[in-house]
Amino acid sequence: MTTDRDPALDPARDLRVERLIPAPAATLWRCLTEADRLRRWWVPSPVEITDLVIEPQPGGRFFTHMRLPDGGEHRVEMMILHAEPQHRLRFTDLMTAGFVPVAQPMFGFAAEIALIAEGAATRYVATARHARPEDASRHREMGFHDGWGTVADQLAALAPSFDD
C-alpha cells in the first residue's frame, strides 16, 4: 500500500499537545465520546459547556454550546471524521454533520486524538493538521498549545475519578 492513513508529523502544518494521563485508555475513550463526560473537560475553565452533541462515526455531528465568563455564548459545529474505539478519535472544523464543507472555518483543521496505553497510564496525543503553514501559525497564535494543553490537564484531573 502506497498510501498512509497515519501521516508523520509535519512541523510546518501540524500542532500537537501530548500528556501522560493516569487512567486506562478505555476510561479516556468514554471521557472523549460520551457527552455527559466530555462536557466536563472539553473547554478551558471558566468557560462552561451548556450543550454538547457528539456522534462518534464518519459524518457525525460534533456540536458544543459554550457560555463565557462575561455571559457571552458561543456555538461550534464540527464533524466527526472517524472513530476507532479505545484508540483514536478524529474530527474537523472544515465540515459539519453529513459532510457539509464549511466555507470559512474558524481554524481550518483536522484533528486526531490518539490514546496509547503505557502501563496503567495512557499517553494522550492530540494533533491538529492544517492545509497551509499559515493556517497552523494562526492557530498557534490563537493559543492552540495553551487551550488544548489546559483541557488535556482537565481530562487528566477528571479521568482517574471514574471506576469503569
Is position 102 an interface residue for another protein (rule: CB under 8 A)? yes
Q: Does 75 bind another protein (CB under 8 A)?
A: no
Residue 81 in the binding site for another protein (CB under 8 A):
yes
Geometric angle at alpha carbon 78, from 146 and 14, rounded to 5°:
45
Nearer residue to another protein within complex by CB, 5 or 163: 5
Per-residue DSSP letter, 82? E
Tell me the closest approach of the beta carbon of residue 4 to another protein, in angstroms: 5
- The answer to whether 47 and 21 have CB atoms below 8 angstroms apart is no
Minimum distance between the CB of residue 53 and another protein, rounded to whole angstroms?
A: 17
Residue 154 burial by Cβ neighbours in a 10 Å radius (0-12, 13-18, 19+): middle
- Of 142, 125, 121, 145, nearest to 26 (Cα)? 121
Cα 139 to its chain centre, rounded Å, is 14
At its nearest, how many Å lie between another protein and the CB of residue 116? 17
Instruction: Select from 93, 64, 69, 68 the least CA-distant residue to 81.
Output: 93
Residues 6+ apart with CB under 8 A from 69: 46, 47
CB of residue 21 to another protein, shortest distance in Å? 24
Which range of residues in 3-11, 47-55, 68-76, 140-148 is near another protein by CB under 8 A?
3-11
CB of 98 to another protein, least distance (A): 7
| Contacts of another protein in 9-38 (CB under 8 A) | 10, 13
Question: Of 23-31, 42-50, 70-78, 125-133, which segment contacts another protein by CB under 8 A?
Answer: 125-133
- Site of interaction with another protein (CB under 8 A): 1-7, 10, 13, 58-59, 81-82, 90, 92, 94-95, 98-103, 108-110, 112, 129-132, 135
